[in-house]
Amino acid sequence: MASKVTSAVMRQGLRVLGVAVRTEKAVFALAVLASAVYGGMTVASAWALGWATENVVLPAFAEGRVGAGALWAGAGFILGTALLKALGVAGRRILAGVMQYRMQARSRRDVTKQYLRLPLSWHHRHPTGQLLSNASADAEAAWAPLAPLPMAVGVIVMLVTAAVAMVFTDLVLALVGFLIFPAIAVLNLVYQRRLSPLATRAQQLRAEVSEIAHESFDGALVVKTLGREDLETERFQRRAHELRDANIAVGRVRGLFDPMLEALPTLGVLAVLAVGAMRLSGGAIGSGDLVQVAYLFTLLAFPIRALGWVLAELPRSVVGWQRVQAVLDATGSMDYGTREAAAQEAGPAALEVRGVSYAYGEAEVLHDVAFEVPAGRTVAIVGPTGAGKSTLVQLLVRLVDPDRGAVLLDGADLRELAYGAVASSAALVPQQTFLFDDTVRGNVALNLDTPDEDVWAALRLAQADGFVARLPEGLDTRVGERGASLSGGQRQRVALARAVVRRPRLLVLDDATSSVDPQVEAKILYGLRDAAEASTVVVVAYRMATIALADEVVYLDHGRVVDRGPHEELIERCAGYRNLVTAYEREEAERAAIEVAGVTGEELEEEIEKEIAGEEEEVSA
Amino acid sequence: MTVQGIHGNAERSALATVRQGLSLTPEFRKGLGVTLALAVVATVGKIIVPIAVQQTIDQGLKSGRPDVAYITWAVVVCAAAVLLTALAAYVMNVRLYKATESSLATLRVRGFRHVHDLSVLTQNSERRGALVSRVTNDIDQISSFMQWGGLMIIVSLGQLFVATVLMLVYSWQLTLLVWICFIPLMIALPRFQRLLSRAYTVVRERTGDMLAAVSESVVGAAVIRAYAAERRTAERVDKAVNANRAAQTRAQTIVGFVFPLTEIVAAVAIAGIVLLGVRLGLSGDISQGRLVAFLFLVTLFVSPLQTATEVLNEAQNAVAGWRRILGVLDTPPDVADPGPKGVELPRGPISVAFEDVDFAYPGGAPVLREVSVRIPPRSRVAIVGETGSGKTTFAKLLTRLMDPVAGRVTVDGHDLRDVRFSSLRERIVMVPQDGFLFDGTLEQNIRYGKPSATREEIALALTELGLADWLEGLPAGLDTPVGQRGESLSAGERQLVALARAYLADPDLLLLDEATSAVDPATEVRLARALEGVTRGRTAVSIAHRLSTAENADEVLVFDAGRLVQRGPHAELVGQPGVYADLHASWVSAARS
């Protein structure tokens, strides 16, 4: 059974290699040609040596003199074959690299294009780490056998040439070769098959050790503040010791097979000498022939292993290729309509959410959500943690499509708009800020060709002009991977500037100023309201200051719109909303009252419990 | 106080680095002599073939007719020698793997532990990825060098040595010729290695760029779609991928040209041997068997020189790896555990005192100046101040994540520096603002606060904190996976878990650094009340980000520009003109505008 699986893997592996060969026909053909030159010349170099022995060395000792012609011809043969062989080696190595790296790069580009093409809902279903390794490690593994492939093909040429050469030299000596070389090839194959699972396991453990170290150092503050260094060291040590044992297991196999693979051709040469001596005494061959065959054995011993290398890489290659292919085969894309953005319609956009439902897999998180935002108005979406606010916001700018219902911008279903039309009208500032490893200017302008004055104006509106001006290179300062060189609040403000620089007709803010000081946040919000190009604004918020700016509030709980209307009305009639937004004030008022009444600690606790119970009743009511 | 960066150790010489590195791994040195002796035996095996060829031609074929019996005898002896050397190689390999892997595993774990023992400041002076490399890639480089490169150096030098000795026995003239041919190549090798090493460095950098570019298309998926920046991102990725490919191809091209050079030199040597050897033979200075044996001996020069650039490259990487891991181990934990001779604090309410405490980051301006304050046991203290006023520094000094530059911090009258870490961490626990979670379930993360806790205790802790409802709302309850760094949960939920984790640890002093800032107001209020109940009888210090925390505290500490400027109960402070009154006013306006 196991061998069946393996041969299936081998067949698949050869198919993967076939893909590469068809894609890079020219490079592969040249690489094989170079490798064939190398293979042929390896055999020829042994022949040259044999020729020189037979026609130069032995006559010289036998006859005490040597012809200058034969002498120089011998030297010429040796040098000529070596030069051609060297050229073959260089060509084979370089071209194999060109092919391998081209295929890797191609897979990486294709996979990334898929990442950019596939809808966000697909991204939600696949962990980040997996997607990253598809583009890096898997793309690398898929095409790893291409490195030794041309050499392996060259070795086959070499073996055929050597077989022919040996048969022509002497059939009996050739038989020794026919015994030894297949034995080396088989031994190496067994070696690689035994090694491969062990090496994979060691590789896997190496990744796990690295993961533990990463996580543990990332959480160093938690480890320290709870004094869990021993626990962490134990966790790391357990895996490190598993890795040690796995590496030793690899070492045992290597330690066993490497010397055997080295000894086998040496024993072959010795066999050639023993058999050759008998053939010599029979007069079937000359001494030069003996030297040639013996030399050939020493030359062939190493390259013949290339066959094993290719075969050993195949299982890993198949897995890598399948993973890459799974991404490339993934279906599902966001289809776009043909309606262009209503560019002529300057000014704020009107938004309507019509009976929208959305589920992550089985779990529906939005149920029949409906509300509209008239052009130029500001609506706050308020609700407790986990109410579905961030999901709703993603629907508003068509990061995902609703399962039921529709989102309409100026009366047009978002799905009917052309690619880029939503982005040119609406801008979202998400809760989790993402900055590109680019300059401040690049992060704000992105694909637009925005003049610097406009970038600065947007930064000013986002209260980011001050710190950007103080950066060492101003707008040209690179912010590092994911904006690592900036603080959380600074990143949020750059992300905000990115949205406002587009003068969006609809601006969607998902708790986008949570890391900004309240005073700065107030300035930003007033600035946005007073900006010349008025936008329609949808804002997710907890803070009263933010809510107060809204013309209307949509109160969301458990994925449903519980109530909507102006803040003053909602606070009167909607218990859940009142509880949420006035939590701090009520608490404060109660405390004041309790202090006045001079109640004791226990009484206070009872009060609180009653209050909590009351709240819950109200909410469930 | 000294600068806390991790030592670079660039000045230490390569030899000193390796020597010191080896001194840290006694497992490696144990039995090394036997291993090396076996390596020598294995190496000697390489000259069996040339000797056999020479014996066959000179002795076996001496009389013109082959002496089959002699040749058979010689071949059998040689075959036995081959098997013996193979056995020696096997035993040597296994010994070497065991010794290196055991010693490097020890070094890995030591390095890991040491990173955790370093102070927060030192840890933060280095990128996380770089710290991880010290216990992963750097060790792997050393290991691959010890098992291959280092062994190759010994085997290669041995091979060159025994080949040369045998050559000298056969003919000093031809030996000289061979060495003259190979010496220019040997001189050029380090140059090639530098070329190659630079090319590999470029490859590593480009690979990093490529991975970063690809990761943007995944991590930034939402933003890219929201701004229709797909094409721009694709162009950036293509550029990075192609730059990486170009760098790889360039490195491979250098290898492709350098590698076959040895073969050409060997061919020149062989041709030279034939030309000169024949002349020596004519004058009777060499036998024909010895001459032919020379042709085989030259092949022993090829593989050491072919692999030399790679070996040198590995050696360089390994020394760099040693330097980096030694750099970690040589960096003293500047906030050190006093160990067994330190003070054990008894359980019970904790009092804290700051006595003229100053703090400055290395090379920076003071961030805390002359802070003196006493926090009595069982008191509830709120710390307020603007961003950068020194609140978090105060918290870090109180939990001894850092030590003061001047003055001292005491708990129950003991200088914090004298208190054992095991005791300190058990009694004083801080909940940082960013609730870091480990990849696992909710239960596993909360249990991190008290490894012996049962599932019931964990559920009870959540109930006591008023979080039972939240827990019920989760799809898998306590078994809900939190994802890497807890990213499957919202920022607010992560904070809830972090808080539960700290509460389960049952400390006598709980320090909250804006620990509920991302939680929704209703939950936060409920949590604050629950905390008030459960911290009764303990000392509680909160860095406040909203009004009510300060209003409910027994005492408010007001920080401004690194100084403790006001202290007292809220009711008292709010009436006085000053920093607190201003802060209070801005909070009130933000909450009620």
pLDDT in tens, B500-529: 999 999 899 999 988 877 777 788 887 888
Cα B122 to Cα B115: distance, rounded to the nearest angstrom: 9
What average pLDDT does the structure give for chain A? 84
Backbone phi, then psi, for A226, in 5-degree steps?
-100, 0
Cα B478 to Cα B44: distance, rounded to the nearest angstrom: 65
Q: Could you tell me which residues are beta bridge partners of residue A11?
A: none
- Within-domain flag for A538: yes
* Residue A469 and residue A556 in one domain: yes
- Residue A407's pLDDT is 93
CA distance A62 to chain B (A): 10
**CA distances for A361 relative to A130, A369, B248, B482, angstroms:** 19, 18, 42, 18
Cα A358 to Cα A388: distance, rounded to the nearest angstrom: 10
Nearest by CB to residue B490, choosing from A65, A386, A588, is A386
Nearest by CB to residue B238, choosing from A109, A220, A221, is A109
The answer, for B42 touching chain A at a CB cutoff of 8 Å, is: yes
- Within-domain flag for A421: no
The 10s digit of each residue's pLDDT in A243-294 is 999 999 999 998 999 889 888 888 988 888 888 888 887 877 887 888 888 8
Chain B stretch 424-453, residues whose beta carbon is closer than 8 A to a beta carbon of chain A: 424-426, 429-432, 436-439, 448-449, 451
The answer to whether the CB atoms of B432 and A222 lie below 8 A apart is yes
Show residues of chain A in contact with B515, CB under 8 Å.
none
Chains A & B: contacts with CB separation below 8 Å: 456
* Residue A486 and residue A610 in one domain: no
* Residue A324 and residue A380 in one domain: no
* Sequence spans of domains, chain B: 15-171+322-333, 172-285, 352-592
Q: Assess whether pLDDT exceeds 60 at residue A383.
A: yes
The answer, for B231 touching chain A at a CB cutoff of 8 Å, is: yes
- Within-domain flag for A415: no
- Within-domain flag for A228: yes
Show residues of chain A in contact with B499, CB under 8 Å.
none
CATH domain B352-592 topology: Rossmann fold (3.40.50)
Residues 6 or more apart in contact with residue B202 via CB below 8 angstroms: B247, B250, B251
Chain B residue closest in CA terms to A576: B522
Which helix (H) or strand (E) segment is A351 a member of? strand A351-360
Chain B residue closest in CA terms to A616: B469
The answer to whether the CB atoms of B116 and A223 lie below 8 A apart is yes
Q: Which residue has the tokens 């590789």?
A: A203
* Residue A273 and residue A394 in one domain: no
- Rounded to an integer, the average pLDDT of A163-185 is 86
pLDDT band at A103 (very low <50, low <70, confident <90, very high): very high
- Rounded to an integer, the average pLDDT of A351-379 is 88
The 10s digit of each residue's pLDDT in A424-460 is 888 899 877 888 888 999 999 887 888 999 999 999 9
- Interface mutation target, options B177, B274, B490, chain A, most CBs of A under 10 Å: B274
* Residue A530 and residue A563 in one domain: yes
Query: Do B298 and A78 form a contact (C-beta atoms < 8 A)?
Result: no
Query: Do B519 and B496 form a contact (C-beta atoms < 8 A)?
Result: yes
- Within-domain flag for A408: no
Cα B569 to Cα B564: distance, rounded to the nearest angstrom: 14
The answer, for B57 touching chain A at a CB cutoff of 8 Å, is: yes
pLDDT band at A606 (very low <50, low <70, confident <90, very high): low
CA distance A583 to chain B (A): 5
The answer to whether the CB atoms of B71 and A273 lie below 8 A apart is yes
Chain B residue closest in CA terms to A70: B275
User: Over pLDDT 70: what percentage of chain A?
Assistant: 92
* Full pLDDT tens readout for chain B, 593 residues: 344 566 655 567 878 888 888 888 888 888 888 988 898 888 888 888 888 888 888 877 766 677 888 888 888 999 999 999 999 999 999 999 999 999 999 999 999 999 999 988 888 777 777 788 888 888 888 888 888 888 888 888 888 998 899 999 999 999 999 999 999 999 998 898 889 889 988 998 898 889 888 888 888 888 888 888 888 899 999 999 999 999 999 999 998 998 889 889 999 999 999 889 888 888 888 888 888 888 888 888 888 888 888 888 888 888 888 888 888 888 888 888 888 888 898 888 889 999 999 999 887 788 899 999 999 999 999 998 877 788 888 999 999 999 999 999 999 999 999 999 889 998 999 998 777 899 889 999 999 999 999 999 999 999 998 888 888 877 788 998 887 778 777 777 888 899 999 999 989 999 998 887 777 778 888 788 888 877 888 899 998 777 777 888 899 999 998 899 999 998 898 888 888 888 888 777 765 54
- Residue A594's pLDDT is 65
| Beta strands, E only, A383-496 | 404-409, 412-413, 426-429
**Nearest by Cα to A562 from A373, A553, B475:** A553
The answer, for B293 touching chain A at a CB cutoff of 8 Å, is: no
The answer, for A268 touching chain B at a CB cutoff of 8 Å, is: no
The answer, for A87 touching chain B at a CB cutoff of 8 Å, is: yes
Q: Assess whether pLDDT exceeds 50 at residue A617.
A: no
DSSP state of B385: -
Cα B184 to Cα B481: distance, rounded to the nearest angstrom: 63
Helical H runs in B359-420?
A: 391-398
- Residue A455's pLDDT is 92
* Residue A501 and residue A592 in one domain: no
* Residue A218 and residue A100 in one domain: yes
Q: Assess whether pLDDT exceeds 60 at residue A510.
A: yes
Backbone phi, then psi, for A565, in 5-degree steps?
155, 180
Backbone phi, then psi, for A430, in 5-degree steps?
-75, 165
- Within-domain flag for A108: yes
> How many structural domains does chain A have?
3
Token duo for residue A442? 């690049």
Token duo for residue B500? 């539960």
pLDDT band at A609 (very low <50, low <70, confident <90, very high): low
CATH number at residue A517: 3.40.50.300
- Residue A24's pLDDT is 93
- CATH number assigned to the domain with residue range B15-171+322-333, chosen from the 4 options 1.20.950.20, 1.20.1560.10, 3.40.50.1400, 3.30.300.10: 1.20.1560.10
- pLDDT higher for A543 or A116? A116
Chain A stretch 505-564, residues whose beta carbon is closer than 8 A to a beta carbon of chain B: 514, 517-519, 521-522, 542-545, 548
- Interface mutation target, options B65, B83, B116, B210, chain A, most CBs of A under 10 Å: B116
Q: Could you tell me which residues are beta bridge partners of residue B373?
A: B354
The 10s digit of each residue's pLDDT in B448-462 is 999 999 999 999 999
Q: Assess whether pLDDT exceeds 90 at residue A2.
A: no
CA distance A116 to chain B (A): 6
Chain A residue closest in CA terms to B420: A227
Cα A360 to Cα A399: distance, rounded to the nearest angstrom: 14
Q: Assess whether pLDDT exceeds 50 at residue A548.
A: yes
* Residue A93 and residue A30 in one domain: yes
Show residues of chain B in contact with A258, CB under 8 Å.
89, 93
Token duo for residue B472? 């019920």
pLDDT band at A23 (very low <50, low <70, confident <90, very high): very high
> Residue A588 sits in which domain range?
584-620
The answer, for B113 touching chain A at a CB cutoff of 8 Å, is: yes
**Nearest by Cα to A327 from A558, A172, A144, A112:** A112
The DSSP-derived string for A598-615 is T--HHHHHHHHHHHHHHH
* Residue A470 and residue A602 in one domain: no
Residues 6 or more apart in contact with residue A207 via CB below 8 angstroms: none
- Within-domain flag for A568: yes
- Rounded to an integer, the average pLDDT of A464-492 is 84
- Residue A281's pLDDT is 79
Query: Do B313 and B197 form a contact (C-beta atoms < 8 A)?
Result: yes
- Interface mutation target, options A225, A336, A604, chain B, most CBs of B under 10 Å: A225
Q: Which residue has the tokens 């650039």?
A: B309
CA distance B157 to chain A (A): 18
Show residues of chain B in contact with A289, CB under 8 Å.
none
- pLDDT higher for B344 or A305? B344
Chain A stretch 312-341, residues whose beta carbon is closer than 8 A to a beta carbon of chain B: none
> For the CA atoms of chain A, what is the radius of gyration?
37
User: Over pLDDT 70: what percentage of chain B?
Assistant: 97
* Residue A279 and residue A320 in one domain: yes
* Residue A603 and residue A544 in one domain: no
- pLDDT higher for A102 or A45? A102
Handedness of CA A219, A241, B95, A261 (dihedral sign): negative
Nearest by CB to residue A225, choosing from B113, B399, B493, is B399
Q: Which residue has the tokens 């709703």?
A: A392
* Residue A495 and residue A569 in one domain: yes
The answer to whether the CB atoms of A259 and B42 lie below 8 A apart is yes
- Rounded to an integer, the average pLDDT of A522-547 is 78
The answer to whether the CB atoms of A79 and B271 lie below 8 A apart is yes
CATH number at residue A49: 1.20.1560.10
The answer, for B172 touching chain A at a CB cutoff of 8 Å, is: no
